[in-house]
A and B are shown apart, each in its own frame.
Chain A
Amino acid sequence: MSRYAAMFDQLAARGEGAFGAFLVLGDPDLATSAALLDAVVEGGADMVEVGIPFSDPVADGPVIQAAAQRALAAGVRVADCFALISGFRARHPAIPLGILTYANIVVARGGFIADAAQAGADSLLIADMPTLEAEPFVQRMDQAGIDPVLIAAPNTPDATLASITSLSKGYTYCVSRTGITGTHEGGQFDAGLVERLVRLGAPPPVFGFGISAPEHVRAALDAGAAGVICGSAIVDLAARGGDVVNFVHLLKAATLNDKGRNDSRAE
């Protein structure tokens, strides 16, 4: 069973949603980045999503852009990112880890997909590769044993969601109506999108945009999502030297069901 499947099974049994933490690899340097990966796990992240920095991240808002620029300015290379992932995998054998990056990073390195699988990544999402271009990449990911994750948006038609269902594994990355990371009023989560994905049997829907406070986590789960990924808020907090462990802990706590939350308070 894949790490994602095992995680979703265990969380479902406990009545919890998945909390995913996103960080840009190499931001602001390799040592700090490795420590931040450990910090989000310590805070209680169920899954970790990592960005391999790209010079021209068109799907990202100012916070993630700045993080990628910091990493690149520090001289971080793709090979360094794979080394960070290998290190993470050795320290945290059970936590699912997914890569989020851009198409040119994937095609520029012969064997990127195999290297990602080898380093211990469980999934790969390519932000500027929509479903209609995905098939050749998905075949290579299937061969390498890494889950292809595709993006579903509220304006994505059912025919495309059906393709997402047949092509992707791991989870489905759901975005909100407005297009880029880190620019959202929280709480805008499309229950209709989740419903359509569930009806088609797509991999578990996880909201990737608009999560920066516990109430956003609740709202996303109330919309039917299996989990959430928080990116810009964590990256911004880390850049300002804030307490990432505590922040992740606070957001993770919001994924516990009412019974869980009561238990947690009673402890």
Chain B
Amino acid sequence: MRLSGRFGRFGGCFVPEILVPALEQLEAAFLDAQDDPAFVAELGDLLTNYAGRPTPLTQCRNLPGNIYLKREDLLHGGAHKTNQVLAQALLARRMGKTRLIAETGAGQHGVATAIAGALLGFETIIYMGAEDVERQQLNVFRMRLMGATVVPVEGGGRTLKDAINEALRDWSASFDTTHYLLGTAAGPHPFPTMVREFQRVIGREARAQILEQLGRLPDAVVACVGGGSNAIGLFADVLDDDVRLIGVEAAGKGLDGDNHGATLLRGRPGILHGAETYVLQDDDGQIADSWSVSAGLDYPAVGPEHAHLKDSGRADYVGATDAEALAAFKALAEKEGILCAFESAHALAHALKLAEQDPEQVILVGLSGRGDKDVAQAERLLA
């Protein structure tokens, strides 16, 4: 490996030996591509003319406080996922791979991967926990419409963690022809670094947009954290600025019980899915089942750079409960006419708390995805 793959004590490359050459190949392709004007130009063209970048920065008109939304919900595919999926798919083509595999929870990353597979001509296999297949039928159908094969995973808790396990198993046998298009800034090196770099575009645009609209940087940047890719992309270009960084984890039914996805708040360091990071686990190291109303935050580990940002004190991590997220989802719809994803609603929920404390402060919220996928669930929960 050419890079260390470490963020302080976190990160690394904890995979079976047989996968190490595939990760080395990926790191080399990633580093070489970044210096290749043809790659940079093709990715830029796709992001602008296919996916719809730059996405707007919207100042809320009617919600309390002074909240700006970075509108990744308006990106093609409906979430920030598309940014890095297009980039990884180009890398896969560069490496001569013909098949993409991916895990998905709510289905947003699966949809983004199906999009890239259809556009660039890959055979595309999406592993999805059987439980998630049942509760996210709309996204399953979207993936299938775009030609992807959705494989329900019956093992374990039948959710995202189990889908990742199954994708890793597939890749152990298939890496010659197959790229594992991991969906977040987690997993073994080089994924956390690579996904951050491909999501950095969110923060770079937001920084320029708020400077243009307001003439200054925000006081706080707030993003939801499941695996943590939209948060790390939004944070990356303001890490060295005097700006508060706040990651919002899923507090589920409450941080004091077992039904949450608050890995950084309630987990402890361990090793899962290739990286040393915070993990929800029991005393023996068996991985706990997480819980969140939003499938995208329902994951018992977290990207290793967030673990480092927490321990170094550069970023703060807080929780928002299912109920708080739902209230924010509803408020955004009623006051601003925007249906956001349940994931993004966690970030907004915390921003609303901050705005209540100090209505003058400027808060930048990562609105990572749109809420179409959650409408049926919202109808039930808000009834």
Known: A160-B20, A179-B169, A179-B172. A107 touches B285 (CB 8 A): yes
Q: Is there contact, CB below 8 Å, between A180 and B172? A: yes
Known: A78-B284, A104-B271. A65 touches B16 (CB 8 A): no
CB 8 Å contact bits of B220-259 with A (1 = contact, 0 = none): 0000000000000000000000000000000000000000
Closest Cβ of chain A to B261, distance in Å, is: 16
Closest Cβ of chain B to A77, distance in Å, is: 6
State in angstroms the CA–CA spacing of A183 and B173 once bound together.
Answer: 10
Among the stretches B7-15, B75-83, B113-121, B344-352, the one at the interface with A is: B7-15
CB 8 Å contact bits of A132-166 with B (1 = contact, 0 = none): 11000000000000000011110111001000000
- Chain A residues within 8 Å of B18, by CB: 151, 153, 155-156, 175, 179
Q: Is there contact, CB below 8 Å, between B272 and A56? A: yes
State in angstroms the CA–CA spacing of A55 and B18 once bound together.
Answer: 21
| Other-chain contact of A180, B169, B273, B284 (Cβ < 8 Å) | B169
Q: Is there contact, CB below 8 Å, between A132 and B1? A: yes
State in angstroms the CA–CA spacing of A194 and B373 once bound together.
Answer: 52
- Chain B residues within 8 Å of A65, by CB: 155
Tell whether A108 is near chain B: CB-to-CB under 8 Å. Answer: yes
Among the stretches A11-19, A123-131, A198-206, A247-255, the one at the interface with B is: A123-131
CB 8 Å contact bits of B167-204 with A (1 = contact, 0 = none): 01101110000000000000000000000000000000
Closest Cβ of chain A to B99, distance in Å, is: 15
Closest Cβ of chain A to B129, distance in Å, is: 13
- Chain A residues within 8 Å of B1, by CB: 132
State in angstroms the CA–CA spacing of A55 and B290 once bound together.
Answer: 13
Known: A58-B169, A104-B270, A108-B270. A72 touches B286 (CB 8 A): yes
- Chain B residues within 8 Å of A55, by CB: 156, 286-287
Q: Is there contact, CB below 8 Å, between B286 and A130? A: no
Residue of A nearest to B167 (CB): A58
- Chain B residues within 8 Å of A152, by CB: 17
- Chain A residues within 8 Å of B19, by CB: 130, 179
- Chain A residues within 8 Å of B35, by CB: none
| Interface size classification for chain B | 35 or more
State in angstroms the CA–CA spacing of A41 and B272 once bound together.
Answer: 34
Known: A78-B284, A108-B285, A128-B271. A156 touches B17 (CB 8 A): yes
- Chain B residues within 8 Å of A133, by CB: 12-14
Tell whether A105 is near chain B: CB-to-CB under 8 Å. Answer: yes
Which B residues between 268 and 311 are near A, CB-CB below 8 angstroms?
Answer: 269-274, 276, 279, 281, 283-287
State in angstroms the CA–CA spacing of A69 and B21 once bound together.
Answer: 30
State in angstroms the CA–CA spacing of A109 and B13 once bound together.
Answer: 20
Tell whether A103 is near chain B: CB-to-CB under 8 Å. Answer: yes
Tell whether B165 is near chain A: CB-to-CB under 8 Å. Answer: yes
Q: Is there contact, CB below 8 Å, between B287 and A180? A: no
Tell whether A74 is near chain B: CB-to-CB under 8 Å. Answer: no
What is the interface of chain A mostly: helix, strand, loop, or mixed? loop
Residue of A nearest to B284 (CB): A78
Q: Is there contact, CB below 8 Å, between B169 and A61? A: yes
Tell whether B161 is near chain A: CB-to-CB under 8 Å. Answer: yes
- Chain A residues within 8 Å of B168, by CB: 58
Tell whether A59 is near chain B: CB-to-CB under 8 Å. Answer: yes
- Chain B residues within 8 Å of A153, by CB: 17-18
State in angstroms the CA–CA spacing of A53 and B323 once bound together.
Answer: 36
- Chain A residues within 8 Å of B161, by CB: 56
Residue of A nearest to B271 (CB): A103
- Chain A residues within 8 Å of B172, by CB: 58-59, 178-180
Q: Is there contact, CB below 8 Å, between A132 and B270? A: no
Closest Cβ of chain A to B331, distance in Å, is: 37
CB 8 Å contact bits of B145-177 with A (1 = contact, 0 = none): 000000000011000011001001101110000
State in angstroms the CA–CA spacing of A13 and B284 once bound together.
Answer: 42
Closest Cβ of chain B to A24, distance in Å, is: 14
Q: Is there contact, CB below 8 Å, between A77 and B21? A: no
Q: Is there contact, CB below 8 Å, between B20 and A130? A: yes
- Chain A residues within 8 Å of B156, by CB: 55-56, 69
Closest Cβ of chain B to A71, distance in Å, is: 11
- Chain A residues within 8 Å of B269, by CB: 107
Residue of B nearest to A101 (CB): B285
Known: A54-B286, A56-B161, A108-B270. A128 touches B14 (CB 8 A): yes
Residue of A nearest to B287 (CB): A55
- Chain B residues within 8 Å of A178, by CB: 172-173
Q: Is there contact, CB below 8 Å, between A107 and B270? A: yes
Known: A132-B20, A153-B18. A105 touches B12 (CB 8 A): no
Known: A56-B165, A133-B12. A104 touches B285 (CB 8 A): yes
Known: A54-B285, A128-B271, A179-B19. A103 touches B173 (CB 8 A): no
Closest Cβ of chain B to A173, distance in Å, is: 9
Question: Which of B156, B272, B281 has most A Cβ within 10 Å?
Answer: B272
Please name 17 pairs of A and B residues whose Cβ atoms are closer than 8 Å in the assembled complex, sorted by A.
A54-B286, A56-B156, A56-B272, A62-B155, A78-B285, A105-B285, A107-B285, A108-B285, A109-B284, A128-B274, A133-B13, A133-B14, A153-B17, A156-B20, A175-B17, A175-B18, A179-B169
Binding site for A on B (CB under 8 A): 1, 12-21, 155-156, 161-162, 165, 168-169, 171-173, 269-274, 276, 279, 281, 283-287
Nearest 3 A/B pairs, CB to CB: A179-B172, A108-B285, A103-B271
